A and B are shown apart, each in its own frame.
Chain A
Amino acid sequence: MSKTFDTAAFAAAATFAAAMGVIAPAHAQDADYPDTNVSITIPTGEGGGADRDARAITQVWSKYLDRNFEFSYYPGAAGQVGYEFFMKSEADGTNLMFSNIGPEVIMLELQDVPIEIGEDLVYIQKTSTEPMAIWVGANSEFETLEQLIEEAKTRPVTISVSRLPHPASIGMLALGEATGAQFNLIPYGGGNPTAMAAITGEVDASALPLANPITFGPEARVLGIFADENPVPEQTGNAPTVNEAAGTDLPPLTSSRAFAVQASVLEEYPERVEVLKQTIRETLADPDYIAAVEAAGVPAAFIDPGDQEAAMSEAAETAELATKYRELLTGDE
Chain B
Amino acid sequence: MEYDLASLSGLFGHAFSMWWIMLPAIVVGLIAGAVPGFAAHNTIIILLPLTLALNVEYALAFMVALYCASHLGGGIPAILVNIPGTGGAAATTLDGYPMTRKGEAVKALSLCFVASVLGGFVSSVVTLFALPALSRVGYYIHSVEMVVVMLFGLALIASIAAKDMLKGLIAGAFGLMLGAMGADHIYATPRGTFGFLELFDGVPLVPALIGLFAISEALVMLESDALVEEGDQPKTAATWRESAREIFSAFSHWWQIIWTSLLGLVIGVLPGAGASIASFVAYQQSQFFSKTPEKFGTGHPQGVIAPESANNGVTTGTLVPLLAIGVPGGSTAAVMMIVLQFHGVPFGPRLFVEEPQLAYGVIAVMAVSYVMMIPFMFPMVRYMSRITVISTVYLAPFIVAFTLVGAFVPRGFLFDMGIAVAFGIIGYVARKTGYHVAAILIGVILGPLIERSFLLAMRISGNDPMVMFSSTIGNILWVMLILTLALPPIMSRRRAKLERLKDKSLTGPDA
Contact = CB atoms under 8 A, between A and B. Distances in A.
A303 interface: no
A5 B49 CA distance: 21
B37 to A, nearest CB: 15
Given A76-B201, A219-B325, A296 B53 contact: no
Given A12-B21, A15-B53, A77 B325 contact: no
The A interface, classified by DSSP as helix, strand, loop or mixed, is: helix
Interface stretch (B185-193, B213-221, B284-292, B437-445): B185-193
Contacts of B20: 5, 8-9, 12
Interface stretch (B232-240, B330-338, B427-435): B330-338
A278 interface: no
Given A158-B460, A217-B346, A80 B50 contact: no
A269 interface: no
Contact of B197 (A84, A156, A184, A295): A84
A156 B456 CA distance: 15
Contacts of B139: 200-201
A297 interface: yes
B142 A200 contact: yes
A192 B334 contact: yes
Contacts of A330: 187
Contacts of A59: 52, 342
B447 interface: no
A158 B201 CA distance: 26
B344 A295 contact: yes
Contacts, number: 150
A216 B55 CA distance: 23
Most buried by A among B188, B341, B412: B188
Interface stretch (B40-48, B154-162, B417-425): B40-48
B328 A331 contact: no
Given A45-B334, A219-B325, A331-B187, A18 B142 contact: no
B270 to A, nearest CB: 10
Interface residues of A, number: 65
Interface string B312-355: 00000000010001111001011101100111101011100000
A47 B138 CA distance: 20
Interface residues of B, number: 55
Interface string A183-195: 0101111001101
Given A196-B138, A216-B326, 10 more contacts: A5-B20, A51-B334, A59-B342, A77-B200, A163-B188, A184-B462, A202-B460, A216-B348, A217-B350, A219-B348
25 contacts: A1-B17, A4-B17, A5-B20, A19-B53, A45-B334, A46-B45, A46-B331, A47-B328, A76-B183, A77-B200, A80-B183, A80-B188, A107-B188, A111-B188, A164-B186, A189-B185, A200-B138, A200-B271, A201-B139, A215-B341, A219-B349, A294-B344, A295-B342, A296-B342, A297-B341
Interface of A: 1, 4-5, 8-9, 11-12, 15-16, 18-19, 45-48, 51-52, 55-56, 59, 71-72, 74-78, 80-81, 84-85, 107, 111, 156, 158, 163-165, 184, 186-189, 192-193, 195-197, 199-203, 215-219, 292, 294-297, 330-331
